[in-house]
Amino acid sequence: MFALLSDYESLRLIWWVLLGVLLIGFAVTDGFDLGVGALLPFVARTDVERRVAIHTVSATWEGNQVWLVLGGGAIFAAWPALYALSFSGFYLAMFFVLVALILRPVAFKYRSKDESPAWREGWDRALFVGGAVPALIFGVAVGNVLQGVPFHFTDDLRPIYSGTLVGLLNPLALFCGFISLAILVAHGAAWLAFKAEGPVAERARAIGAKAALATAALFALGGLLVWAGAFGGYQVVTPLPGDGPSNPLTKDVIADAGAWLANFRADPRLALVPLLGIVAPLLVAAGFRTRLTGATLLASSLGIACIVTTVGLSMFPVILPSSTHPGHALTVFDASSSRATLRNMLIATVLFLPIVLAYTAWVYRVLRGKVSERDITAPGSPAY
C-alpha cells in the first residue's frame, strides 16, 4: 500500500479510474433525475400524475447531484489543466447547464406555493428544461472532446481556448448529445417504472422502451462512425513516462483517424465494454415489456456505465485532445497534480468515500417503496 502511494504512475492511473467512477456515479444517480424531468410532460397528464413523477425523485435528487460536485472537485484537484480548459472553453455551454440545473431546485420549492394550474405548469416546464438540457449538453461536451478541442498553451503553460459556442454545437457533437439524452430518458423511465404506480409507470414503460432501442441504435451507429474515422482521433507518438513531469508540451501527438480504436485492437477483450453498451439498452427495452422493474433499472445503469467507460478506454491515455495543436493534448501522465496532492487526496478518498456510499445506501433503503396517487392525495402528504 505504501509503495502504491509513492508511485506517481500508479497514482495517476488510480485517479483516472476514480474520475471515471465519479462520472459514472453522477450519470447513474442524477441521470434518472434528469430523465424524469425530461419525461415529465409526456408521462404525466394531470397535476396528481405530475406530482407522482416528481415525488419519485424529490427526496434524493440533491444527494444525487453531489456526484457532479465530486466530479468537478476531482478534476480541479487531480487534473488542474483539464479543469481550466474544460470549464473555461465550454463556459457558455456550462452556463446553460447551470441555469437548467438551478431551475430544478427552484421548481421543486416553488411549484406548490400556488394551486393555480398556470403557475404549476410553468414550473413543470422548468423541470423539463432542467432535465432535458443538461442531458443533451453533457453528451455534446463528450462529442467535442472526442473530436478535439481548439486550444493550445503558451510557453509559460497558460492555456488559450480559441473555440466558440457555435463550434461546440456541430453535427457530430449533437449526435453524441442525442445518445446521452436517449439513454438518460430510458434511465428515467426505468426509475419511474421502478418507483411509480399507475398511468405514470405505464407511460414510462412505453416511452422508455423506445428510448432504449434508440440508444442501442445510436450507440452502434456511433461505433461505426468512429470506425469510419468521422470523429478523428489522436495518437501519442513519443514515450510517456509514468513518473514524468506534468508538462503537456514535452510530447508529440498526431491526428490519426483510427486512434480511438487502437486500445481495442491492442486488447480485444476491451471490446466487451462497448458491446455491453449496445446489449444493455436492448435488455432495458425487453425489461420494460416483461415488467422486471429492478432488473430493468440495473440494466439501464450498466448501459450508462459501459457507454461512459467506452469513451475513456478509447481515448486513453489522452484525456483532452487539441484539434489546433495536437502536441498540446492533455494526457493522464502529463496533466495531473503533484505526487503529494494525488497521494493525500487518495488517502482522504479511501477514508471518506465508503462513508458517503454507506449513507447513500441507507437513504435509498429508508425511502424504498413505490409512489402512488393515493399517497399523493393522502392528508399530510408533501406538497410538491
In the chain, what are the domain boundaries? 2-377
Question: Residue 3's pLDDT is what?
Answer: 59
Question: Residue 383's pLDDT is what?
Answer: 60
Output helix, strand, coil percentages for the chain, rounded to the nearest 5: 75, 5, 20
Buried b (16+ CB within 10 A) or exposed e, 13-45: bbbbebbbbbbbbbbbbbbbbbbbbbbbeebbe
Distance CA 337, CA 14 (A): 13
Q: Angle 301-303-307 (CA atoms, 0-180°, nearest 5)?
A: 120
Digits of tens for pLDDT over the chain (384 positions)?
A: 555 667 889 999 999 999 999 999 999 998 999 999 999 999 998 888 898 899 888 888 888 888 888 888 888 889 888 888 887 778 888 888 889 888 888 888 888 888 888 898 999 999 999 999 999 999 999 999 999 999 989 888 888 888 777 778 889 999 999 999 999 999 999 999 999 988 999 999 999 999 999 999 999 999 999 999 999 899 999 888 888 888 898 899 999 988 999 999 999 999 999 999 999 999 999 999 998 999 999 999 999 999 999 999 999 999 999 999 999 999 999 889 999 999 999 998 888 888 888 988 888 888 888 887 787 766 656 666
pTM across the whole model: 0.92
Beta bridge partners of 151: 161
CB contact at 8 A, 221 and 242 = no
Neighbours of 373 (CB within 10 A): 17
Question: Residue 308's pLDDT is what?
Answer: 96
Distance CA 153, CA 326 (A): 11
For cell 434511465, the residue is: 187
Distance CA 31, CA 201 (A): 18
Question: Residue 310's pLDDT is what?
Answer: 97
Q: Angle 174-29-48 (CA atoms, 0-180°, nearest 5)?
A: 90
Neighbours of 158 (CB within 10 A): 9
Question: Residue 236's pLDDT is what?
Answer: 93
CB contact at 8 A, 127 and 37 = yes
